[in-house]
Amino acid sequence: MSHALVVIPTYNERENIASLVARVRAAVPAASVLVVDDSSPDGTGYIAEALAADDDAVRVLHRTAKEGLGAAYLEAFGWALERGHDPIVQMDADGSHLPEQLQSLLDALAVPDAAGRPVDVVIGSRWIPGGTIENWPRHRELLSRWGSAYARTMLRLSTRDATAGYRVFRASALRAIHLDDVHTRGYGFQVDMLWHARQAGLVVVEVPITFVERVHGRSKMSPFIVVEAMVKVTGWGIADLFRRTRGADVEAHSA
């Protein structure tokens, strides 16, 4: 785990980024941190640069525009793979993902699943036994639970928390997913990556986490973003059903 990299995408997170990076470095000192800043107008990128100047384990990737969470992660994943990092962690910048729980996610990567297969992806899950949320309004919880349930149903996923953003990937898993085929840039990116992982036959496990609502700044979530993501999920599900139906017809005619 000595080359683990924690990727933290940022946009207007100046109130959170310094304390979060410090907590990550304290929780898993062997891990490096990559802050991916989408040209935050509040100066988050400059704060990240100051952190990097004081700590060789911190790096900053500056992007020229706000292009969405997925775009930031995809660029960061490519950066990490080119430099030999393994595993690669994704974590929100707002403090909702507790760095103090990161080691439990990393540890889960080293334990075979129930069938004895090596684990490729670990999900920090809110919706399995032991998972909890703090300070979320009821409507946010219901929306998240419904989104995960809908994605599971449409895409035949077994992961309970399909929209979770706290994840650990083996480098080999990211290569198997074929990142060039992941085109979602917004909220649906998490589901898109999970769906590609299932299609690639990767082993995905969930570890319970405590998810804490941000203290500083505003959430980037909005009803429009959620609806947009669900429309994409619906399209993927229909396309998947069509492929399976067509495949079954071909097999029937060739039998």
Decide if pLDDT at 47 tops 70. Answer: yes
Domain encompassing residue 23: 5-254
Q: How far apart are CA 189 and CA 163, in angstroms?
A: 8
Residue 227: pLDDT band (50, 70, 90) is: low
Joined together, the tokens standing for residue 248 give 């079954």
In this prediction, residues 42-58 reach a mean pLDDT of 97
Domain count, the chain: 1
Residue 66: pLDDT band (50, 70, 90) is: confident
pLDDT of residue 18: 97
In this prediction, residues 124-140 reach a mean pLDDT of 91
Residue 222: pLDDT band (50, 70, 90) is: low
Decide if pLDDT at 97 tops 60. Answer: yes
| pLDDT top residue among 237 and 106 | 106
Contacts of 213 (CB under 8 A, 6+ apart): 96, 133, 134, 135, 136
CATH number of the domain residue 156 falls in: 3.90.550.10
The closest alpha carbon to 24, from 138, 197, 166, 208, belongs to: 166
pTM across the whole model: 0.87
In whole numbers, what is the pLDDT of the chain averaged over residues?
A: 89
Decide if pLDDT at 254 tops 60. Answer: no
Q: Tell how many helices (H) and how many strands (E) occur in the chain.
A: 8, 9
- The residue type at 225: I
pLDDT of residue 216: 57
Decide if pLDDT at 1 tops 50. Answer: no
Contacts of 211 (CB under 8 A, 6+ apart): 96, 97, 126, 131, 132, 133, 134, 136, 166
Residue 9: pLDDT band (50, 70, 90) is: very high
